[in-house]
Structure 1
Amino acid sequence: MGFLEAYKLYWLNYFNFKGNSSRSEFWWVILWDLITFLAIFITTLFIAAEFHTLFLDTVMIPLSIWEIINFIPGISITVRRYHDVGISGLWYFATPFLGDTLIQKASKYANYYENVNEHKFILVIDLIGIIIELISLVIILKPTKFQNNKYIHN
């Protein structure tokens, strides 16, 4: 799968949560998204500099719009990537979302506690969130599973 073909499929499969996505398709889309994100970021910085304003909104609004547009197809390609390795796409919602939630909650409450034991508890929750994120990364990095994969139909 090539760079342009992967990105075209990304948008054509906007709401497609069935089937599978190869590693190359997934990572080409990630690269496209990174390039586009950086292009939007740099362009908005130049525009802000031209008008002698560097309000956070000037940069964040276009980036937020881009992320909103990519939210659903990003989830769908990841669900299809999970399918490609023979894992239910529902696990996607348990891994990154749970990991992110734990990390964010731990970070939010870490400053409120002065007791050392409470800080240790927050660190353990944070560590669990990071481990869950790493599990998701390992799943995405795995090669296609052809045998006994109910999500791949030949």
Structure 2
Amino acid sequence: MTLAFVVLAVACHLLLQRTSLGRHTVLVGANRRTAAAAAVNVKLVITIAFCISAVTAGLAGVLTAADFGVADSAQFTNVDINAVAAVLVGGTAIKGGEGSILRTCVGTVFVAALQNLLQVLGLSTGVQLTCVGAAVVLAVCSYALMKGRSR
């Protein structure tokens, strides 16, 4: 799974940084009107982005089934919260147009390590969610402060 994570992260990073589709995706995420004014086919870019998301979700399901021997939709609870936390801790703007795959990967590793630590300590799910939420608030506030100082 780790190898698949690294390969997919590098592939997505190269896609976003080195292709016109990647540049168009970032532009559409930052400002749809500007993208349309720059003759970017906004609907096509959004459709491709959702298709890539669906393929990677399917790949995750296949890897999960291979790893655990079974794939159940209720197998992982709070994964959506952890995914949003990883993206925000990685410094990606929730409004879009700002961020990177590599920073999101760092956020993912941080949130996973935090979750593992909290589980090893034997804390309840509610306390774990509170700690992840506190980490998100801290990361977003520190990012906002750093961004404000750079202006």
Q: Under TM normalisation by the shorter chain, which class is it?
A: 0.3 to 0.5
Q: Which has the higher contact order (CA 8 A, sep 6+)?
A: 1
Give 1 or 2 for the bigger CA radius of gyration.
Answer: 1
